[in-house]
Chains A and B, each alone.
Chain A
Amino acid sequence: MTNKKRKDGLQATETAEPTVIENATFESTLRANLEEIRNYDGIVGYILKNTNSASIDLKDPAKIIDYAILSSTTFDSTEELSKLFNLEGIKDVIINGKNLKMISLTIENNRISIFLENSSDDDRVLKRIQMV
């Protein structure tokens, strides 16, 4: 990547570029993984949020707010519970509800919540999303 930049005759001030590109690649890989997971059987949708942006892909747009609030509350609450019970870093959170289940995890400052039907394979989803 650096060579390409030099070929283009960019100045030394542009040296931060590769990091940005790496981040972009990471995020695009993450998004691609989420898109793939989105097509798994029983996946209702996902919420991806980082410091700069948030994107939501849910089958039922009417539920967006409810799911977003649940996702956000879960991240905040589990952090507190982690401190209280010395769990240290949170790897993932799974909530099984009567209607759906939600998997939440953080990857490199990206907060991800995936909503799926109870019969869906959460192990498969977790493994795939962590392959970034």
Chain B
Amino acid sequence: MDSEVYAFALKSTLDEMQKACPEIKNAFVLDQNRTIIARDENTTEETLNQAVEVLNEMFGKADAIGGVDDLTIEGINGRMNVSRVDEIFLVTVTSRKANLNYVNTVTHVLVPTVLKLIEKLNHGPLKSNLIEPEQKLETEPENSTVEQAVESTEQSAEPGQEEEEQAETPHEESMEKIVAEPPANQFIVEEMKGLLSPSDTVRIDNSVIEKWNEFYQDKTIEEADVETFGGKSVRCKIKSIKDAKLEGQGKVQIPGKMQLVLDIKKGELVRVKPVVE
């Protein structure tokens, strides 16, 4: 089937949806690459472009929960819904007064039916028939928002690249080779107990310290900056955690006085960056 016909069929579906449900204020369809396939007449191109850009960013981060199958934003004045239907994403914005059951019935019945019909007429998967992108927004590089260098390398590493080597090499090692920025880690604050605990030292996983030392091969990391989400920061010495129960838990043991200075307490999140001088 011609891609124009496919797009026309979807656009007609959106229009019919809005006729049946005037409470649907905006509707558009994206393919798996979040490229716009069809849109209603109410949605301006500018709005649509911005919306797709924002959705792209959100979808990119949703890999943590296995991607997006359904997204609902419940606003005071209306509701936005993104639903995966087969290989497309149907986006609808409805007014506050909309009868959700009715809207869902229309959207979740009409669109899949049309898609199946197109597929049958075409005798092939829809993917191959998608029209040339009207607009393709590139996802921003993960590194721009991922503050953690270690994490960012995990995401930016190209799949399939040196697969065999990676299978043999420990994961951490392969990451460190690619890391381009000083690695920073986030930890959950834990009390540092013991009368003899130095007040200028924090304790973190030995594996993290080892990673840092491997990263800066010529230098030994002895100090780190502990930063809070409130913007406070303290430079202190680092040592490895002694308590085996806390190893590998993503925790940092911070002395009470330092917690007071940083205005944090047990259970909160801090970022720890190695100091390289």
Is the contact region of chain A dominated by helix, strand, or loop, or is it mixed? mixed
* Given contacts A84-B47, A93-B74, A55 and B151 within 8 Å (CB-CB): no
Structural contact, A96 and B70, CB atoms closer than 8 A: yes
Asked if A127 is at the interface of the complex by the 8 Å CB criterion, the answer is no
Query: Per-residue 0/1 for A56-79: is the Cβ within 8 Å of any B Cβ (1 yes, 0 no)?
Result: 110001111111111001100110
Q: Which of A68, A80, A97 contacts B186 (CB 8 A)?
A: A68
Q: Which of B54, B72, B76, B93 contacts A77 (CB 8 A)?
A: B54
- Do residues A81 and B73 form an inter-chain contact, with CB atoms below 8 A? yes
Q: Does B64 contact A (CB under 8 A)?
A: yes
| Least CB distance, B204 to chain A, in whole angstroms | 13
Docked-complex contact A74 and B77, CB < 8 angstroms: no
Binds B, one of A2-10, A14-22, A98-106: A98-106
A-side contacts of B74, CB under 8 Å: 90-94
With both beta carbons as reference points, the residue of chain A lying nearest to B46 in the complex is identified as A84
Q: Does any Cβ of A come within 8 Å of B67's Cβ?
A: yes
In the complex the two chains form, is B268's CB within 8 Å of A55's CB? yes
CB of B67 within 8 A of CB of A53, answer no
B141-152 interface bits toward A, Cβ cutoff 8 Å, 1 = contact, 0 = none:
000011010010
Question: Given A53-B228, A54-B268, A97-B68, A82–B148 Cβ distance below 8 Å?
Answer: no
Contacts known (A85-B93, A95-B62, A115-B65); A56 close to B76, Cβ less than 8 A: no
Considering the chains assembled together, what is the distance between the CA atoms of A49 and B74 in angstroms?
20
A51 to chain B, nearest CB (A): 7
The answer to whether B75 and A87 touch across the interface, beta carbons within 8 angstroms, is yes
Which of A53, A61, A89 has a CB less than 8 Å from the CB of B268?
Answer: A53
Annotate A35-60 by CB proximity to B: 1 below 8 A, 0 otherwise.
00000000000000101111111000
Question: Would you call B55 an interface residue if the criterion is a C-beta within 8 Å of the partner chain's C-beta atoms?
Answer: yes
For the complex, is B58 an interface residue (Cβ under 8 Å from A)? Answer: yes
Whether a CB of chain B sits under 8 angstroms from the CB of A123 is no
Chain B, Cβ-Cβ closest to A69: B61
10 closest A-B pairs by CB: A87-B75, A98-B66, A97-B65, A61-B250, A99-B66, A66-B64, A97-B66, A88-B77, A96-B70, A100-B65
Enumerate chain A interface residues (CB-CB to B < 8 A). Answer: 49, 51-57, 61-70, 73-74, 77-78, 80-82, 84-102, 115
Known pairs A85-B47, A89-B76, A97-B67; list 15 more (Cβ under 8 Å). Answer: A53-B264, A69-B64, A81-B54, A85-B26, A87-B73, A87-B76, A87-B77, A88-B75, A88-B78, A90-B75, A90-B76, A93-B71, A93-B73, A95-B62, A95-B65
Which chain B residues have a beta carbon within 8 Å of chain A's beta carbons? 25-26, 47, 50-51, 54-55, 57-58, 61-80, 93, 145-146, 148, 151, 186, 188, 228-230, 248-251, 263-265, 267-269
